[in-house]
A and B are shown apart, each in its own frame.
Chain A
Amino acid sequence: MEDFLFAFLNWDIVTQAWPILWRGFAYTLALSAMTVPLGLAGGVALALLATSGPWWVRLLAAGWTDFFRAIPPLVLLVFLYAGLPFAGIDVGAWGAVALGFLLNTGSYYGEVLRAGIESVPRGQMEAARSTGLTRGQALAHVVLPQAVRNVLPDLVSNTLEVVKLTSIASVVALPELLFQARQAQNATYNATPIVAAAIAYFLLLWPLVRLVSRLENRAMAGR
């Protein structure tokens, strides 16, 4: 028991590793603040193309979405970070993460938002247009708000997944929480920093998990 506590829940190690872990935590927050809006922007663009473009644009958007939903995000990230430099394009760790998340989470958000837009009855768009709103206005003020409301549980749950996914940035040596915890573990020969990082992730994301759970149960029960 004492060995277990020493190896996994060692307070001395936590105080030693604190500055390193704290920096990682800040990086994780910064990464999330960058990737969520990027993914959302990509998703809105994809969803609009997939629902209102000409047939070949819709087909392209669907193919694009399926392509990036089939490739594991880590594969995409490694390709952008380690593969592209061979062709003389070096986007760096931040660039690879930004681009990878734009492509990957953009496709996930796009798929959710597409379902949302399709759930809004056609008559809403027609009624809005007939009152004199332009297409863009009708989308922004009438269709999208209803679409977002209809798929809110999926949107929030996807956002939770994006924040969790920032942990793969550790693979390209961005000093986010998991990477910093590994560094601290190597420096101290003790597993406590990783346990501390896991606890930090849990405390950060537990409220979001509870929220998703409530929204999902409500959506299922409302059927």
Chain B
Amino acid sequence: MDGLNNFIFSFFNLKVMAQYLPLVAQGLALTVVLALLIVVCGLALGLLLAVLRSFGIRPLNWLIIFTVDVFRALPPLVIIVLLFFGLPAAGMSVSGFAATWLSLTLVLMAFAEEIFWAGITAVPKGQWEAARSTGLTFLQTLRMVVLPQALRITIPPLTNRTIAITKGTALGSVVGVAEILGAAQSAMSFSANPSPLTLGAIAYLVLFVPVVALGRWIETRFAWKR
């Protein structure tokens, strides 16, 4: 019984939890803001790059592919650390929030570009030709014929990737962002009790379980036919 009491005292200490609930709730709000900023900017930039790539300008495409490869190969934490601890050496300093936002936006941009591009190329050539032959311009064809079809098949992989990258907001705690994990860790050291960490885990579950379930539903709904 002692063991169980000790366990409850450590991880489900209601007194500690109640005391630090506001702090973790603030962290939750910050995580939501950060995540929304990343999702909006990352997806928009990714779509922009994929559209630029469809113009077929060779040197530009090489540049896009290389950029995308870089941000797909580098671990997000490495990019965050590079921006946060590296940039001051060049006389520019960024806040932890900005470093996390910028890093994860670039990572999501890279993955989104790749997925959007795969979607665009999956639309049969005949669609392009038919649309152009009816008198639509290149951009009209892209916007009204190709993208609507491409976006449909990109939804499942895009949802999963977006969720995975959004969870990376927890990495912000490494550079002092008081998002959920950051807030929970400070609360843990103030109270010398890990219950705030449990609270943080619950906050993530509340935030992400619905999204993960939604992702799973979308995946079956728009299932890739193999």
| Contact A195-B86, Cβ < 8 Å, known A168-B171, A216-B118 | yes
Number of A-B contacts (CB under 8 A): 159
A221 at the interface (CB under 8 A from B): yes
A142 at the interface (CB under 8 A from B): no
A55 at the interface (CB under 8 A from B): no
CA distance A208 to B74 in the complex (A): 12
Q: Mark B181-207, 1 if CB is under 8 A from A, else 0.
A: 100010010000110011011001101
A91 at the interface (CB under 8 A from B): no
Contact A221 B122 (CB under 8 A): yes
| Contact A75-B204, Cβ < 8 Å, known A191-B89, A220-B119 | yes
Q: At the interface, is chain A mostly helix, strand, loop or mixed?
A: helix
CA distance A185 to B78 in the complex (A): 13
Q: At the interface, is chain B mostly helix, strand, loop or mixed?
A: helix
CA distance A154 to B99 in the complex (A): 29
Q: Mark A185-200, 1 if CB is under 8 A from B, else 0.
A: 1000011001101100
B57 at the interface (CB under 8 A from A): no
List residues of B (208-222) whose CB comes within 8 Å of A's CBs: 208-209, 211-213, 216, 219
CA distance A194 to B87 in the complex (A): 11
CA distance A160 to B171 in the complex (A): 18
Contact B75 A164 (CB under 8 A): yes
A217 at the interface (CB under 8 A from B): yes
Closest to B150 in A: A220
Question: Which residues on the B side are within 8 Å of A86 (C-beta)?
Answer: 10-11, 193-194
Contact A69 B212 (CB under 8 A): yes
**A79, A119, A191, A201: the one within 8 Å of B78 (CB):** A201
Residues of A that sit less than 8 Å from B by CB: 3-4, 7-8, 66-67, 69-75, 78-79, 82-83, 86-88, 115, 119, 150, 160-161, 164-168, 170-171, 178, 181-182, 185, 190-191, 194-195, 197-198, 201-202, 205-206, 208-210, 212-213, 216-217, 219-223
| Contact A167-B75, Cβ < 8 Å, known A74-B181, A87-B7, A220-B153 | yes
Q: Mark B154-196, 1 if CB is under 8 A from A, else 0.
A: 0000000001100111110110000011000100100001100
CA distance A10 to B224 in the complex (A): 48
Question: Which residues on the B side are within 8 Å of A185 (C-beta)?
Answer: 85
B41 at the interface (CB under 8 A from A): no
